[in-house]
């Protein structure tokens, strides 16, 4: 008797499975559609804006649009202040969302030579993220420049601090006055930095870059001290316990030790 009902039971089970699968797929599709139409705020033009107009606060407002239409190129309300006072390169109609690509960047009118102090020079060196503190080096920062070379006398690799307390004028095409928020994402990274140095230091940097690799060390902006007569670091230094102990003592002497709610300078 049960044997005769087996095809019916199997058919019911398969039907239920098909229904569950179909229902799940429908729910997922509905969820995706609903997600796409979540409304998010963007900045739009409140009036028609002609090409070359400098945007003011009363020319823009906020409007909600479906999330699926909002990309990183659209100006969000929390970034609206960055476009105020900027000149648009294309005409816009009332209600149009503002795009970063529609604005001039302030760097177009920049001239780097105006930032170079008299009797100083601007010199550019290669600087990948790995050699520029992971890309944290920014315009107006103070840095040291460390070089690694092969010693012609010993044929060993050595490292030494070439320059100390150097001011960064630019990273790539970005200076301290560039409105970074208006730049496309791809233009915010850099592969070189421009430093302000005296002419003789420019010669040192140029030759050093030809002979070896340069690394930038970021300084506190209030740390203006320099150390004279610093010895190069060689392979032997890595195995010299005495020098490592001296350097560790120096580092510990200037560490700020935080205990509880207070802090103090402590020498150990």
For the full predicted model, state whether its pTM sits above 0.75: no
Residue 132, domain member (yes or no): yes
Residue 6, domain member (yes or no): no
Give the number of other Cβ atoms within 10 Å of residue 117's Cβ: 11
What is the count of structural domains for the chain? 3
Structural domain harbouring 264: 236-268
Residue 29, domain member (yes or no): no
pLDDT digits (tens, 9 = 90+) for 63-88: 998 888 888 788 889 888 878 888 88
Name the most confidently modeled range: 53-57, 62-66, 75-79, 165-169.
165-169
Same domain, 202 and 115: yes
Sign of CA dihedral 195, 196, 202, 208: negative
Same domain, 221 and 113: yes
CA atoms within 13 A on the CB side of 233: 12
Residue 8, domain member (yes or no): no
| pLDDT exceeds cutoff 80 at 62 | yes
Q: What is the pLDDT of residue 265?
A: 46
Same domain, 263 and 217: no
| pLDDT exceeds cutoff 60 at 264 | no
Name the phi and psi angles at 243, rounded to 5: -65, -40
Rounded Cα gap, residues 20 and 9, in angstroms = 17
Q: What is the CATH number of the domain that holds 69?
A: 3.90.1210.10
């Amino acid at each position: 008797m049960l044997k005769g009902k087996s095809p019916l039971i199997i058919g019911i089970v398969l039907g239920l499975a098909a229904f569950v699968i179909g229902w799940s797929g429908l729910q997922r599709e509905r969820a995706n559609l609903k997600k796409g139409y979540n409304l998010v705020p963007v900045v739009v033009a409140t009036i028609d804006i002609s090409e070359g107009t400098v945007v003011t606060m009363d020319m823009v407002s906020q409007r909600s649009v479906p999330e699926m239409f909002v990309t990183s190129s659209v100006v969000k309300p929390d970034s609206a202040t960055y476009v105020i006072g900027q000149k648009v390169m294309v005409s816009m109609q009332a209600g149009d969302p503002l795009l970063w690509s529609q604005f001039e960047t302030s760097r177009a009118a920049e001239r780097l030579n105006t930032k170079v102090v008299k009797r100083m020079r601007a010199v550019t060196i290669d600087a990948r993220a790995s050699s520029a503190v992971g890309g944290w080096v920014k315009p107006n920062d103070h840095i040291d420049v460390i070089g690694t070379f092969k010693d012609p006398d010993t044929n060993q690799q050595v490292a030494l601090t070439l320059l100390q307390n150097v001011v960064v004028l630019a990273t790539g095409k970005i200076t301290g006055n560039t409105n970074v928020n208006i730049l496309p994402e791809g233009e915010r990274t850099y592969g070189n930095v421009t430093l302000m140095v005296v002419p003789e230091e420019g010669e040192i940097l140029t030759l050093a870059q030809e002979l070896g690799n340069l690394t930038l060390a970021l300084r506190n902006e209030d740390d203006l001290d320099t150390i004279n007569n610093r010895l190069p670091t060689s392979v032997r230094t890595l195995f010299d316990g005495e020098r490592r102990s001296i350097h560790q003592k120096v580092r510990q002497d200037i560490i700020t030790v935080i205990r509880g709610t207070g802090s103090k300078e402590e020498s150990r």
